[in-house]
Every structure is written in C-alpha cells, then in structure tokens.
Structure 1
Amino acid sequence: MHSETATATDRSQQLELRAGSCSRAGIKPQNEDAAVFHWPADPHLQEYLGAVAAVADGVSSAEAGALASSTATEQFVSDYYRAPDTWSAARAGQKVLASINSKLYRKSHEFAQEEKGYLCTFSALVFKSRTGHFFHVGDSRIQLLRDDKLECLTRDHTVTLGHRRRILARALGMDTGLQVDYGRVDLELGDQFLLTSDGVHDFVPKVTTMEVLRRDDLDAQQKAETLVRYAEENGSDDNLTAVVVEVAALPATTLDEYSHQLTRLPFPPPLEPGMVLDGYAVERELFSSQRSQLYLVRDTETGETLVMKTPSVNYEDDIHYIDRFVQEEWIGLRIQSDRVVRICRQNRQRTALYYLMEYVEGCTLESWIARNRFPKPAEAFRIVREIADGLTAFHEQETIHQDLKPANIMLDSAGHVKIIDFGSVYVAGSAEVFRPLQHPGALGTASYSDPHYILGHNTGIQGDIYALATIAYEIFTGELPYGEEINECRSRADYEQLSYRAASQFNPVIPIWFDRTLERGCAIDLGRRYHTIAEFITDLGNPNPEYLRDDPSEYKSQNASLFWKILSGLWIVTLLAVIALFSAGS
C-alpha cells in the first residue's frame, strides 16, 4: 500500500489544495498502478507551473506494466517541472507525454516478438492558478464533484469485444504516435477531483463515490483510502488506486494574462558590458552568430557567474525560430549529466527572451585538437568516452543531438567534456516535424553531420554515432575521415563517391582494429554503421577479432605484420588501463 497526504499553498496567489492518495495491489501479487501528487517547494514553480496529480495503471498483459506506470508518473512530474515558463500547461504536458510515450514504445519494441512490453494508462491533472488542465490516455478516470454533481471529465479508450471482453484502444507505449485527450476546467472553491484506476471505479457505484466525497468528517487521504477499501469489499479483482484533490482556496487573479505575455517576450537588444538585464550584469560577449549570442553575466544577487543565451533579432518575427529557442531550454533542463552543460532554472520574472546556463571555463574541443595533433592515446580515448557518455544522456531522454561537432564541445579546466549546444536537437515523439540540417555559409560544419541528415533522412542514434566517430577520428589524426571533399557534397551520388581514408596514414601508431572501428562508426552505409554507442565504444577499447583479420582488397598496406601486432598490443594495454581508471573514477 502507498498513500500520502499533501497540503500545498501558493504563497503569492493563495491557491490551496488538499490531497490524499491510496494504492494497493488488492488480490494481485504485484501492484502495477502508480499514483502521485506533487507540489514543488520552490515558490516560482508553485506559481507558474502549479501542482500535479496523476494515476497510471500498468497493462496487466504487459511484462513490464509496473515499470511503465512508475516511469510515466515519475517522469511526467520531473519533466513537467523542467518546462520553460514560456510554455502553457497544455503544451508542456503534451510535450512531456510524447517523450514518455516514445521512451516506453522503444522499450516495448524490444519485446515485440513476445507481445509484451511497457504499456500503461495515464491520467493527470495540473492545477495552475484558477484552472485545471487534464491529460488522459486509456481507461483510468478523472472525475469532478461540484455542487452535488459527479462528472467524469475523461472517456475510456476501450473497445468491447465478444462476451463483454474489453480491451484498451490507447495506452502509453502502444504506438509511435500518441493521441492525448486534453481538456481544461475552471476551478471553483470546494471542487473535489478524483483520479482512479479501473480497479476502483469499476467496483464502486457512482452514488457511493459521491457519498464518500461529500463526507465532512473525512479528509482527502481518508476519502481515498475509503474508496479503495469499498472497491476491495465489492470484489475488485485488480490493483486499486485513488487520488483525491480538494480545492480549499483560489487566487484572486489568473495567470492567463501573464502566460500570454511570456509567449510574447521581446528579444533583448545587443548587450554591452555593464548593462543589467533582470538582475544579470553583462561582463562580456562570448560568442555571436547570425542566430544567437552568448554573454558572460554575473548574478547581482548571488555573485554567480553564468552564461546568457539570447536570440538574434534577425528572427524576431519567426515563430518557428522562437519555438526552437524556447525548446532548447526545456531540453537542457531535462538532461542531467556531468558531460552536458547545466541549464539554470530561471527564478525571476523575465522581461526578455533568453535562458541561462553554467559557465564552463576552459576551451573548445576544436581548439584542443588544433593544439594536440598526436595526443596520448589514453587522454584521447578518455575524451571520446566522455563525449559518448554525454550523448547517451541525450538518448536516455529520447532526444538526438544531430549537430555534434568539436566547436559544440567544451573541455573544462580539468580537461573533462561538456556538450554545450542544444540548437539542433530532435525530440522523439514530438509533434514537430524533422527538418534537414542546413549549414549556410559555414565552412566545415557539415563535416560532422550524418550525410543522411543533410539529405533529409532522420537516422536517429546512428546519426549521432556518425558524428562521434568522425570526432574520434579527428582527435586521433587531426584530419577528417573523408577529407574536406565532404563539404562539397550535395546529393546521394556525391556521398557515394567518397572513400574512407585509413586513419593510420595520418597517425602510424593506430592499429588496424581501431581504424576499422572508426570506419564502421562513420560508414555512410547505414547497414554497416554501428547501431548503439555502447557497441562502438566497446570496439574502440577492446579489439574486435573480426577487425584483426587481413583484408587485402581494402587494407593492402595494413597486413598482420609483427609491427602491427606489437602496436596493437601496446594499444590494448593502454586502453584497458584507461578504461579501468575511468571506471574507478566514475
């Protein structure tokens, strides 16, 4: 059994909610339901994002229903509270659910042959100012008791077959596309919201539910527990979950006008040293391009040094550009990794469109490569491994970087990697349509992008692997695997004319197995390219026996001579030592 009582008050707006939840396995050996009510301690989040109540019911025929429901509720809460202030509750909730659905579907697909996987229903309520926003997939329910009338705000996504057998028509993780029922309701003082799994509402009559919710002698927690107990007593054969949320006080004003203003924030003007914007004093400009600017700023309240990214006034009337800029902040807030730059939650009211990130003192990988033509293998491999860890953090959030390059990677003062750019990230499951990368007038930036991206095909993780392998090749050789000719390619035929250049011709100490790993990592043919970062990194650090065989047609100058065997042995010893030290350090 899991239950909780939560009372939360918004200090500035005087919104007061009282909540309770109860979830039990019932007659089943495992509880595959999950429930949550969350009200953040941060007053800024309380005011502008509100409170969340959610119920998920793992599909009993799925092997991982319990994991699906717990993942859905936990990730919805964590990702929703990382949404930018500039997003409405509707948009934030739908974006988050699309990401969760993509994650569960990917996991479900791994069990496709067994017809088992990660599937669950999901119903959530966001309480923001004087409005309730609800999101619903499946056959869990959200009901509202107001003025002695109990109304169901959701509809069951089920199909009835013969013998009254009912099956789900929609669930999280069921398909690549997700249809979410969204609605909103104006809150009134005394409203009571009830979220339940079918193990409760299928076994407690409507009249009984109303009687329990009306009882003044029970608080929200006791009401939830009572409804679950009644369901058990009435013969429920499923897991049982109920969440009750009571509206005890409402703010005098709404946030609609504020939200409207946020989506129309003006672009900041060009900033100069000494200028102050929302309490952040500009110290100097770090970077400027046609699309954005980066400034080193100091928080005048805390003294913390940060980086402020501002949009370019060239795109002030471009709605899609503004949307992409705002999404960068959301993506960064979701990704938590030591190998990815930290995006800072804005706790003050913004008067202009920008976002903040940690300041990484160091140099770009681009400049590091220029100064280290033939780096020590141990240091070079560590850097590649850390870039891989950063990319993995992106992929765990169902996002693809798409535009990784040495200029977008920092090495801090200790020499550790920080991926610093989110401008081209693709979010799986998003309603946004994939757009091919474009690099107008930027010589060399296309060198690291998967040719399939340039041609308009989204290759997902394999695209990031191509970039990682290309960067690894350059770290060890100072060159590009296909030379500068790749920047002139405009069609599939152009790319097919390219030939991989053996890394050993630029760095003679590179052994054949290492070279062949790099070649497969940046293969233009997707059938040859690695499918996972883990597999690529494993082959870089441990000789793949397949790559030690002679292939005279492709590697005439690299036969299995004693020279190569000795060098391979040295590399093996060195890299294994590095991997051991790296693992111990992490």
Structure 2
Amino acid sequence: MDTLAVSVGQYSSAGCKPENQDFHGVTIPDDGRLALKGVVLAVADGISSSRVSRDAAEISVRAMMTEYYDTPEVWTVRTAAETVLKATNAWLHGQNASVGDVNLGRVCTLSALVLKGRQGHVLHVGDSRVSQLTGASLEPLTEDHRVVLSAQETYLGRAMGAEAGVAIDYRQIRLAVGDVFVLTTDGVHEHVTGRVVAEALRLPGLDAAAEAVAHAALENGSDDNLTVQIVRVEGLPPEGEALETEMARLPVPPLPKAGAVLDGFSILRPLHSTARSHVFLAEGPTGKVALKVPSLEMAQDAAYLRRFALEEWIARRVRSSHVVGAVPAIGRTALYVVTQWVEGVTLRQWMVDHPQPSLDAVRGIVAQIASGLRALHRREMIHQDLRPENVMIDADGTVTIIDLGSCYVAGVEEAAPGTLPHMPGTYQYTAPEYLSGDAGSVRSDQFALGVVAYEMLTGRLPYGAEAGRIASRRDAMRLTYRPARAADNAVPDWMDAALKRALSPDPILRYPALSEFVAELSRPGTAYRADRHVPLAERNPLRFWKGVAGLLAALCMVLISLLIQP
C-alpha cells in the first residue's frame, strides 16, 4: 500500500442525559485532497449549562469537515486548521454577544486529528481529548483546559466561542502503520482506561469497538454524553516518497523545433536553454505562451520530473498580476509546463539599458516584485530563486516574477518531504542561511530582493564574491556590507540604511514584513532617524535661521559699540 489508508469507527449517544450535546465527524477524501489535505476527525462537546451549545459543537466540527478542505492546498495543516477554527470561534463569539452570560451561549470544546502523509496533527481547545493507544495504555496527546477551583468545582479555561480570540493547542506526531488513536468527550475518557479500549478492539469492526467503549463508560458511572472515535492507520505512503502527479508520469517529449506542434501549441522559437530544461515561445488557443520541457538528460530523474510538474501546479494556485500564471493544456500527451507569455525584457536587460536609473524607477520595480512575493508568501510559498533573470518588465512597466521551479511550498513539503528543493541555485542572490545549512524563510526572499535593489542602484553586489564562500553561520556573520551610497550615485543615507537591514546576514535582523522594506526605500525609517543626529537646520529651519539672525544682530551691536568708543 503506497497511500495513506485508515479504518474508522465512531459512536455517540446522550448517555444518561435527555439530550446529546456532543457532535463528531470524519472526512476521508477519495481524490487528490487525501495527499494534500489528509484525513480529518473531530469531536466537540457542548457545555451543559447552555441549551444551544450543541449548535456550537456541530458548527465547529462541520467547519473542520468542510471549510478546512476549502483552504489552499499549499497551506500547512496548522495554518489551514487554525484559520478555520479562529474564524469559527469569532462567529460563535459574535452570536454570544446578545447573551448576558456566555455560559448560556454557543460554547463548546473541540479536539481534531488530521492525518496527512506520514504525520498526525492534533488541534485542541477545551477538555475533549485525542489519545493514542499504546498496548493497554491510553496516552493523552492533549491537555485538558480545565481550571480546578476545588474538589467539587471546576470550569473550562478555554473553549470555542467563549472569547473573541482563542488559543489553539497544536501538536505534530509521526505515524506508523498500526497506530490507534481515540478521540473522546469527557463523559468517556474520565470513566475508561486503555485496557477497556484494547479489549474493545478485539470486537469485529471499529464501530462496535467505539460503542463498547462508550457503554463501558456508562457502566462505570458516567452521567454525561458519550462520544468515541477510533482510527487505526492501515497504510502510509513510502518513506521519502515525493508527491506524485499524473502529469509527472507523462513521457518527456523530444526536443521540439520551430514549426512543430505539441498538443495544439505551435512552437515559434526557442527562448533559452539550460542543462535541465528548454523554454520556447509557442502559440496556443488563447495566444502566445511560454512552453517549457525537461531536457532529455533529465528524463530518467524521477524526482526532478515530479518537481518539474509541480511548477505549473504552483502557478495555478497563485493569483497575482506580478507572478506568472499557468495556461491550461487540453489533451496533454507529454510532460511540459505552459505559462503565460510576458512580452518584454528581463530585469537583467533593463539594468543594462538603464545603468543609472532614477530612485523612483527602482522603488517602483521593487514594490511590484514585493507584491508578487507577498502573493507567494500568503500561500506559504518561498520563491527561492529571485534574480534579475527571473523578473520580466513589459512595455507598460508591469513587473512579473517568472520561473517557479525552485519554489518551496510548505503544504506540499509537509505532505511529502523531499519533493521540493530547499536550496536555490544562484549564489549571488542566495540568502546566507541557505549556504550555512539553515532553513530558509520568507525573509530569505527579502534578502534576494535587497540584492536586486542594491544592484539596480549601484551596478554591483553588496557582498561581492564573499557571499559564495559561506559554509557556516560564522562565515555568514563575517560578511561585510559595502555601502550603496557612493560618489557615482544618488542613493541617500537613509535608503542605504534600508538596504543594509534587508541584506543583514542574520534573517532575524531583517524587516519583519516586505511592506516595511518597501516603505523605508521611500522615506527615512524610524530606526534610521533614532540612530542619526539631525542638525537643527534640518530639524527646524525657521528656528535655525532665527538663531543665526539673532547671533548676527548681537555681533553687529558689539562691533558698533567698539566703533563708537572714544
């Protein structure tokens, strides 16, 4: 078995109570969402003091069952689930605004387990539980958010809908075939042991096992609602196996020539080639496109072909006028990537054509690149290969980031570790943390953007050849920034300070957001103003000149008094 496979059993009843305020659910996708979003189980428990708390339980669970799958496939489980749950909590809290006492409102606990790839992800609020059965021991993977006032009095310290914001516990665990996880409400786990669960698993079918566990809790004195979910991992994708796509399994086409037709795309002319791929200008049903095919030398490299296919997959999931978009191919018979054709010049050629650009021109280009990068970052993507050759500028001055082949996508990496590259290939624009063996981040793209901005302004690189010699953090910290301001350019001190911060060898010292970097390329930043003594003539010209006038007047009086002395 080469995919994630699970068996699930579940049972819920009101127990001794007149109404069941618990709610539970499970979603096992049968399409591509299984690999990229995983299996979701969730259980919620409405508080007993509220007659409408079951509404909260149902709404919270259904949000995980449906809205979680509507979040971008490129997001990690944690980002997607927390986004959904926080939005759900805000809605529930809003509904409770008309209730004088929140204990009478839509409030519930929630525990969810997402199984994706070879990892399990636990999200938790309140005192329902996710546990793992180890032998005859039921080991909790969550911590109850219950505050104990006395032996007889306790209350929930955290719950869905109780407050405007909610803190969601998160835990990630590694999966193995045969793992058994149990989700329960407090009416169950406070009255059963792991031995009870282990005994129940001997019954035929997990539904029967879940019902047996609930009945055992009832027999042991539970006076609450009873809900049990049991999931057993039956199969996992192979260790280190990259994410497969149908497109990656298509054959690599022979290198096309001008005039050839590939699945309805007429090849017009080659654009550029490398040892790994060839890019052509082609004419398709919707107009001109850029068509990229793998080189024949890479045809036997299955890992490369999977990454190659993901480039178009990534392009289809980003919406920005400053990031190249994908073009659909109908009746695809071979492996190639089709993206929109940007009529214009590369930023490299623009720099050759404009060796001394105005500050405004540079700021405009940097702002557009930053907008494209932010569109990627919002999808938890890192471009990783930003350089002048991968930026196009059309006749209207619109800037577009192209070539998404080196993109790191957190959600894909989470589903299939090793699928995507972690290391860019152009050292001059590569953030030092990559070269020193540390993980990249969105601030790594900021470093590359800083290099691009610096080069546009100065015609040189901020660290010269030193950047390519980094092999450790110590090497990175030894980098010496070369000021951008010089006699042959108009770069002001404050703009140089912004570049220096974006180009810091330590990612922690860079800007927390690209928008701040872009803003401080247009005006002096607060850090620059704080570190710099500004002369009075610059801070308050009127006061300065009044002072000068007063001093001159006093000097004149002294001179006059000297002249009239006998």
Match of 2:161 in 1: none
Match of 1:526 in 2: 507
Note the 1:189-228 alignment, pairs <5 A.
none
Structure 2 Cα separation of the partners of residues 139 and 74 of structure 1: 15
Question: SS state of the match for residue 285, structure 1?
Answer: strand
Sort the Cα spacing of 1:365 and 1:515 in 2 relative to 1 into closer, same or farther, 3 A.
same
Structure 1 Cα separation of the partners of residues 356 and 23 of structure 2: 54
Residues paired across the two proteins, number: 412
Q: Which of 446, 453, 461 is the matching residue for 1:472? A: 453
Match of 2:277 in 1: 292
Sort the Cα spacing of 1:58 and 1:506 in 2 relative to 1 into closer, same or farther, 3 A.
farther
Give ranges in structure 1 of 5+ residues lacking alignment: 1-29, 40-45, 81-95, 110-117, 126-132, 141-154, 184-196, 203-209, 211-233, 239-258, 440-444, 553-558, 567-586
Structure 1 Cα separation of the partners of residues 406 and 292 of structure 2: 15
Q: Which of 304, 321, 327 is the matching residue for 2:287? A: 304
TM-score, with structure 1 as normaliser: 0.56
Letter in 1 for 2:418: E
Q: Which of 526, 529, 536 is the matching residue for 2:517? A: 536
Structure 2 Cα separation of the partners of residues 68 and 369 of structure 1: 54
Question: SS state of the match for residue 282, structure 2?
Answer: strand
Percent of aligned pairs sharing the same letter? 30
Structure 2 Cα separation of the partners of residues 520 and 139 of structure 1: 37
Are residue 486 (structure 1) and residue 466 (structure 2) matched? Answer: yes
Structure 1 Cα separation of the partners of residues 477 and 72 of structure 2: 41
Q: Which of 376, 398, 415 is the matching residue for 2:380? A: 398
Q: Which of 336, 341, 361 is the matching residue for 1:354? A: 336
Question: SS state of the match for residue 287, structure 1?
Answer: strand
Sort the Cα spacing of 1:398 and 1:550 in 2 relative to 1 into closer, same or farther, 3 A.
closer
Note the 1:52-63 alignment, pairs <5 A.
57=42
Across the aligned residues of Structure 1 and Structure 2, the Cα RMSD in angstroms comes to: 5.4
Letter in 2 for 1:391: L
Note the 1:109-508 alignment, pairs <5 A.
121=112, 168=142, 174-175=170-171, 177=172, 263-299=248-284, 302-348=285-331, 350-428=332-410, 429-430=413-414, 431-432=417-418, 437=423, 439=425, 445-483=426-464, 485-486=465-466, 488-492=468-472, 495-505=476-486, 508=489
Q: How much has 1:314 moved relative to structure 2?
A: 1.4
Letter in 1 for 2:78: N
Structure 1 Cα separation of the partners of residues 512 and 245 of structure 2: 43
Q: Which of 47, 69, 85 is the matching residue for 1:76? A: 69
Q: Is the 8 A contact 1:103 1:397 kept in 2?
A: no
Question: SS state of the match for residue 293, structure 2?
Answer: strand
Residues 168-208 of structure 1: CA distance to partner in whole angstroms, max 9, x if unpaired?
49x99824x5657999xxxxxxxxxxxxx989x99xxxxxx
Structure 2 Cα separation of the partners of residues 260 and 331 of structure 1: 12
Residues 31-55 of structure 1: CA distance to partner in whole angstroms, max 9, x if unpaired?
999999999xxxxxx99999x9987
Q: How much has 1:491 moved relative to structure 2?
A: 3.3
Q: How much has 1:167 moved relative to structure 2?
A: 6.4
Question: SS state of the match for residue 548, structure 1?
Answer: helix
Q: Is the 8 A contact 1:401 1:426 kept in 2?
A: yes
Structure 2 Cα separation of the partners of residues 58 and 415 of structure 1: 53
Q: How much has 1:407 moved relative to structure 2?
A: 0.7
Sort the Cα spacing of 1:198 and 1:47 in 2 relative to 1 into closer, same or farther, 3 A.
closer
Letter in 2 for 1:491: A
Match of 1:511 in 2: 492
Match of 1:12 in 2: none
Sort the Cα spacing of 1:306 and 1:374 in 2 relative to 1 into closer, same or farther, 3 A.
same
Sort the Cα spacing of 1:375 and 1:262 in 2 relative to 1 into closer, same or farther, 3 A.
closer
Give ranges in structure 2 of 5+ residues lacking alignment: 1-20, 47-55, 87-108, 144-166, 189-206, 208-222, 228-243, 542-566
Q: How much has 1:547 moved relative to structure 2?
A: 1.1
Residues 97-146 of structure 1: CA distance to partner in whole angstroms, max 9, x if unpaired?
7x33356579999xxxxxxxx99636799xxxxxxx9x986699xxxxxx
